[in-house]
Amino acid sequence: MAAPKAGSAARAQWMARAGGLGRLVLGLAIAALVWEGSVLLFGIRPHYLPKLSTILQAIATTPKPYVDGFLRTLAETLIGFVAGGAFGIAMGIVFFRVRALREMVFPIFIVSQTIPVIAFGALVVLWFGNTLLAKAVIAFYLTFFPVAVNTLLGLESVDRQQVALMRSFGASRWQLLARLQFPTALPHIFVALRLASSLSLVGAIVGEWFGDTTGLGVLLLQAMYNENVVSIWATLLVSALLGTGFYAVVAAAERRLVFWGAEQ
């Protein structure tokens, strides 16, 4: 009788998911109505907050810059995020293994994070030119630090007795890492990865301010120079879509991989 049970469990899960989706759609619809309604009701000037319908219309009439900007910024964000995440995890493991190196390099990492991203961006754009790579490097720079810190924290939270037990069974250092320490650190790592998903988007957008032709940051800047508030809001909406979507994907990956319970 296992099969029907599993079927009903899957169905319950599907129902829960559909319910969650329904609530999301409902919430968005309410938010849209409140936005539209309050602009009309309180007579907010379009200089501050245009009607939602005006903004959506602006996107619908000329979707190309928004779609192109979305894709371009997404590419920069993703490359920076993946590189920063991988480097951060690797540095966390290295720092965990080699204490002396951690004490030598970690303070430098901390100081590096006080450098204003935009100043660093100026240098990166100079080094790599106005390329996709330059923006990805800026996103990388914002991403790697929280991931490295949390990887280290997670690896250090491993129970000593469990390590001793696995050692007594003859586990090698590599096995210890792969089977015990890394899985224990995973919830911590994902907390940092969720944070990094938003930070990498910041890096990509700010990086585009140094001059480029496509991207959400470029659209923001152009709209500012043209004092086009509708276009700024439209770009903000598209950025929100990108940011929340990316965050949701990382959170979904977390639920998949850390199935035994995510840390909040």
Partner 1 sequence: MTPGTSSSLAVQRGLLGGLILILAWEGLARGLALPSYVLPAVSEIIWSIWTSRSLLAEAATYTLAEAVIGYVLGCLIGIGLAVFITMIPVTRMVLLPLATAVNSVPVVAYSPLILLWFGMGIASKIVMVAMAVSFTVFLSTLAGLDRVDRRSVDLMRSFGAGRVGILWRLRLPTALPLMLSGMRVATVRSVIVAIVTEMLGAYGGIGWVIFQAVLKIDFVQVWSAIFVASAASLLFFGLVGLAERKILFWK
Tokens describing residue 145: 């630090």
Tokens describing residue 258: 């850390």
Round to the nearest angstrom and report the end-to-end CA distance of the chain: 36
Residue 111, interface with partner 1 (CB under 8 A)?
Answer: yes
Secondary structure class of 45 (helix, strand, coil): coil
Q: Tell the burial category of 251 from Cβ atoms under 10 Å away from its Cβ (0-12, 13-18, 19+).
A: middle
The 47-66 contact track toward partner 1, x by CB under 8 A, reads: xx------------------
Query: Residue count at the site for partner 1 (CB under 8 A)?
Result: 47
Q: Give me the least distance between CB of 102 and partner 1, in Å please.
A: 9
- Can you tell me which of 32, 224, 252, 253 binds partner 1, judged by CB under 8 A? 224
Tokens describing residue 103: 């004490």
The 11-40 contact track toward partner 1, x by CB under 8 A, reads: ----------------x---x---------
Residue 46, interface with partner 1 (CB under 8 A)?
Answer: no
Q: Give me the least distance between CB of 171 and partner 1, in Å please.
A: 27
- Can you tell me which of 44, 74, 86, 106 binds partner 1, judged by CB under 8 A? 106
- C-alpha 154/C-alpha 148 separation (Å) is 10
**Distances in Å between the alpha carbon of 120 and those of 123, 154, 209, 260?**
5, 29, 13, 39
Neighbours of 113 (CB within 10 A): 13
Q: For residue 62, what is the DSSP state?
A: S
Neighbours of 57 (CB within 10 A): 13
Q: Give me the least distance between CB of 200 and partner 1, in Å please.
A: 10
Neighbours of 51 (CB within 10 A): 18
- Can you tell me which of 136, 148, 206, 234 binds partner 1, judged by CB under 8 A? 206
Stretch that binds partner 1, among 4-12, 153-161, 169-177, 200-208 (CB under 8 A): 200-208
- C-alpha 86/C-alpha 104 separation (Å) is 21
- Can you tell me which of 136, 158, 201, 234 binds partner 1, judged by CB under 8 A? 201
Nearer to partner 1, 124 or 177 (CB): 124
- C-alpha 202/C-alpha 211 separation (Å) is 16
Nearer to partner 1, 122 or 253 (CB): 122
Site residues for partner 1, 114-133, by CB under 8 A, read 114-120, 122-123, 126-127
List residues near partner 1 by CB under 8 A. Answer: 27, 31, 47-48, 100, 103-108, 111, 113-120, 122-123, 126-127, 198, 201-202, 205-206, 209, 216-217, 220-221, 223-224, 227, 229, 232-233, 235-236, 239-240, 243-244, 247
